[in-house]
Structure 1
Amino acid sequence: MPFGEFLEDFPSVLFVLTHVAMVGIGVWAIVRTWARSPAISKALWLYLASQPVFFAFWAELITLKMAAVTEQALIILMVVWLVLGTGRAEPHGA
């Protein structure tokens, strides 16, 4: 039995609600960082975009692997954006 198989016993609605909460956290993070660092706030849109991908999975429009790969691609793009983009946009300590 693969590790994590116990999660299969939880109802799907629990996972949908988790991703709804993650969307809320993404919106909160974008709003919270906007005044301090618009560059970071803009990068966080990629995180926000990564969460609804799982709604497509729960609606049986895409596979779980497709949802996971898409989410991870958006997250890695966000990381690259944060590392490369925000370093030039704002001086250290600003």
Structure 2
Amino acid sequence: MKNRKIITVFGLLAAMSFGASAAQLVNDQQASGLQSVGTVSLGGVAGAPADIRQQLSQKADAQGAAAYRIVEARNNDTWHVTAELYK
């Protein structure tokens, strides 16, 4: 339940942000028509959800992904987030 709330927060922040990154955060429904190309993870990172989203987007960009979907998010003083990448 807590993970769903965290993922929801990331989704809301994605809708409100206007960053210059190319990789976009997508939901399950949007990802269903995309081709998976792997995963990326962040661990031991402190910051706000918007900061984490920006770091995930940069990692996705570096691997040539057009989109990513958060599949796991935990916050125990620092964030651990895993995202699936899509072309």
What's the TM-score bracket when you normalise by the shorter of the two chains? under 0.3
- Greater relative CO, 1 or 2 (CA 8 Å, sep 6+): 2
**TM, length-normalised to structure 1:** 0.26
Structure (1 or 2) with the greater strand fraction: 2
TM-score, normalised to structure 2's length? 0.27
